[in-house]
Chain A
Amino acid sequence: MSISTPGGPERRPTVVSTGKKPAAGRPASGAKPEAGTSAGTSRQTAGGKGPRKPVTPVKVSQGRSWGPIALFVAVGVLAAAIIGYGAYAAFQGSKPWEKRADGIDGIVNYRDKDKDLVKGGNHQQGPIKYSVLPPVAGPHNGSWQNCMGDVYDAPIANEHAVHSLEHGAVWITYRPDLPADQVAKLKEKVQGKEKLMLSPFDGLDKPISLQAWGYQLKVDNADDGRIDDFIKTLRVNASIEGPTALCNTGITATGTTPRDNAPNMPEQPTQ
């Protein structure tokens, strides 16, 4: 301790002198003149580096101004908050999409609820009965519904739509009585963007229902923020065939009866 003692007074005046610099140079601004003079002397001590043992330091420390300290504390707290928020945001952002999907209020996760339903990706001809409507997974027609941001103005076949879900599409369906301005808002989200499609769906219990492979979310309003959350979290991510599974060269016609002939062949019936 005897060694660290000379270090103490030696360091302390340096700290004080920076705080009291104005006092030494020009007339003290608000500081007590008494403290100003004592700061001046201890500064000399520090500069001379002499082996003196000043008695004044205790008095000097009384002159400690709380302004800079408060400033440093405030800056420190702010910096810690910024870094903390950044770390939190990075952590949230790096959460796997499955976790984020489960965080969407009201989403139904059939991957957890019905494991048999979501594993069946077999192709099957003819009409297929789905236990969940609009369907979210299961066997489906060999042809997928075109999901290149297609906006369908009439209902489409579930058997094709489910195949699109398997390829990573988010299928937005709405009750045919949804007001036109609401439909227009949905259309704006969908058009021009692959792995999305929009169609009316008869018999919905809610105005709007969103589907991804194994997931469903029903909302009342096209302005509901969860629609964008659902799309961001599940579009492509929910694909069980990866991001390069096709949405193009699918069925572009509407109608709820599945078409068993592949549409991509040269003799494709159009419209």
Chain B
Amino acid sequence: MTAPATTDSAPEEIAVPDEGDRGSARRYGVLALAAAVVVGLLLGYAGGLLTPGLTRPGDTSAEAGFARDMTTHHSQAVEMGLLAFQRGTDGEVRQIGGDIASGQQGEVGTMQTWLRLWGLDPTGSEPAMAWMPDGAGLVRNGLMPGMATPEEMAKLRAAQGRELDVLFLQMMIRHHLGGIHMLDGILDEGHDEDVLRVAQTMRNTQQTDLTNLQAALKRLGG
């Protein structure tokens, strides 16, 4: 790159320029310029190839943490929703249980696809919720905000009839409140446009669910 620049400014300063040397230098300059252009193109191409890999969310990014943890969080909602769908007695409870189970299972697929596209494992190497400021402190016995304990899940499985309906509504309301808290976390911390868009959709859905769950709970006298 410097060689052609030097020759450009040189001629006036050179007292006795030798014609033959000057020609070969020009050829050399052209060659150097061509080589520089080729190298530049190759660098640009390499940069273009590498950039998506460097800019996609990494293993410890908020996006990856969210995709993993929300998968876990959703999976339990799917379990509760399926129990309500199978064994609820109230029509609306069964309906909303099936809706939440199928909807959130679909979202699990979306989040797992992100991880695969980013070349990341479904399992992270950091503790749950570490991607959220003060998030790790919200985890109790491995459970993220709003998640039911094994004892509570056993109680839901054992419940029958109206008791199951009410218990499901109570547990799902708490679950959604925790979920919305995590969604607010990624909406604050995240940068990936698609992740933010999907997170916003999840938040809207859960917020609407909450209204309906609370109304149903009131109707059932829970």
Task: State whether the Cβ of A254 lies closer than 8 Å to any Cβ in chain B.
Answer: no
Which of A3-11, A71-79, A132-140 forms part of the interface with chain B? Answer: A3-11
Whether B150 lies near A191 (C-beta < 8 A) is: yes
Q: B121 touching A3 by the CB < 8 A rule?
A: no
| Nearest CB on B from A264, distance (A) | 6
Q: How far is the CA of A190 from the CA of B6 in the complex (A)?
A: 68
Task: Provide the B2-30 mask, 1 if CB < 8 A to any CB of A, else 0.
Answer: 01001100100111011001100100000
Decide: B121 and A188 in contact? CB cutoff 8 A. no
Whether a CB of chain B sits under 8 angstroms from the CB of A55 is no
Partner of B76 from A90, A194, A235, A252 at Cβ < 8 Å: A194
Contact A270 B21 (CB under 8 A): no
Distance from B107 Cβ to chain A, minimum over Cβ atoms (Å): 10
A93 to B6 Cα, complex, angstroms? 46
Closest chain B CB from A134 CB (angstroms): 21
User: Which A residues between 167 and 205 are near B, CB-CB below 8 angstroms?
Assistant: 188, 190-195
Residue in contact with A192 in the complex, picked from B3, B86, B144, CB distance below 8 Å: B144
A231 pairs with B150, CB closer than 8 A: no
Could you say which of B35-43, B122-130, B165-173, B194-202 contacts chain A?
B122-130
Min CB gap B68→A, angstroms? 9
Whose C-beta in chain B lies nearest to the C-beta of A168? B122
Residues of A within 8 A of B139 (CB): 192
In the bound complex, how far is the Cα of B142 from the Cα of A4, in angstroms? 71
Given contacts A3-B7, A6-B14, contact A94 B119 (CB under 8 A): yes
Given contacts A51-B13, A192-B147, whether A248 and B119 have CB atoms under 8 Å apart is no
Please indicate the chain B residues that have their CB under 8 angstroms from the CB of A236 in the complex. Answer: 112, 121-123
CB neighbours of B124 from chain A (8 A): 232
Q: A3-B7, A93-B59, A148-B79 are in contact. Are A191 and B109 (CB under 8 A)?
A: no
The docked-state distance in angstroms from the alpha carbon of A4 to that of B6 is 8
Pair B79/A243 contact, Cβ less than 8 Å: no
Asked if B78 and A248 make an inter-chain contact with CB atoms under 8 angstroms apart, the answer reads yes
| A265 contacts chain B at the CB level, 8 A cutoff | yes
- Beta-carbon nearest neighbor of B108 in chain A: A244
Instruction: Write out the residue numbers on chain B whose beta carbons fall within 8 Å of the beta carbon of A265.
Output: 86
Do A233 and B147 have beta carbons less than 8 Å apart?
no
Chain A residues, CB < 8 A from B141: 191-192
Given the interface pairs A3-B22, A6-B13, A237-B122, the reply to whether A266 lies near B82 with Cβ below 8 Å is: no
- B113 nearest in chain A by CB position: A243
List residues of B (52-77) whose CB comes within 8 Å of A's CBs.
53, 59, 71-72, 75-76
B83 contacts A by Cβ under 8 Å = yes
Q: How would you classify the secondary structure of chain B's contact residues: helix, strand, loop or mixed?
A: helix
> A3's contact among B17, B83, B144, by CB below 8 Å, is which?
B17
Counting CB contacts under 8 A, is A165 at the interface? no
User: Knowing A4-B6, A244-B109, A248-B75 touch, does A151 contact B121 (C-beta < 8 A)?
Assistant: no
B49 touches A (CB below 8 Å): no
A4 CA / B7 CA spacing, docked (Å): 8
- Could you give, for residues 127-160 of chain B, a 1 whenever the CB lies within 8 Å of some chain A CB and a 0 otherwise? 0100000000001011110010010011001100
Q: Is B95 an interface residue (CB 8 A)?
A: no
Residue of B59, B108, B153 touching A243 (CB-CB under 8 A): B108
In the complex, the answer to whether B143 meets A192 with C-beta atoms within 8 Å is: yes
Q: Is A207 an interface residue (CB 8 A)?
A: no
- Chain A neighbourhood of B212, CB < 8 A: none
CA–CA, A252 and B150, complex, Å: 10
B105 within 8 A of A: yes
Query: Closest Cβ of chain A: how far from B137's Cβ, in Å?
Result: 15
Q: Give the residues in chain B near A221, CB-CB below 8 Å.
A: none
Q: What residue of chain A has the Cβ atom nearest to residue B88's Cβ?
A: A266
Is B112 in contact with A244, judged by CB distance below 8 angstroms?
Answer: yes
How distant is the Cα of A264 from the Cα of B83 in the complex, in angstroms? Answer: 8
10 A-B residue pairs with Cβ-Cβ distance under 8 Å, sorted by A, are A2-B17, A3-B7, A6-B10, A49-B13, A191-B150, A192-B72, A237-B121, A243-B109, A248-B76, A268-B87
A194-B76, A232-B123, A268-B87 are known; give 9 further A-B pairs, CB within 8 A: A4-B25, A7-B10, A49-B13, A51-B15, A151-B150, A193-B72, A231-B123, A236-B123, A264-B86
Interface residues of B, Cβ cutoff 8 Å to A: 3, 6-7, 10, 13-15, 17-18, 21-22, 25, 53, 59, 71-72, 75-76, 78-79, 82-83, 86-87, 105, 108-109, 112, 119, 121-125, 128, 139, 141-144, 147, 150, 153-154, 157-158
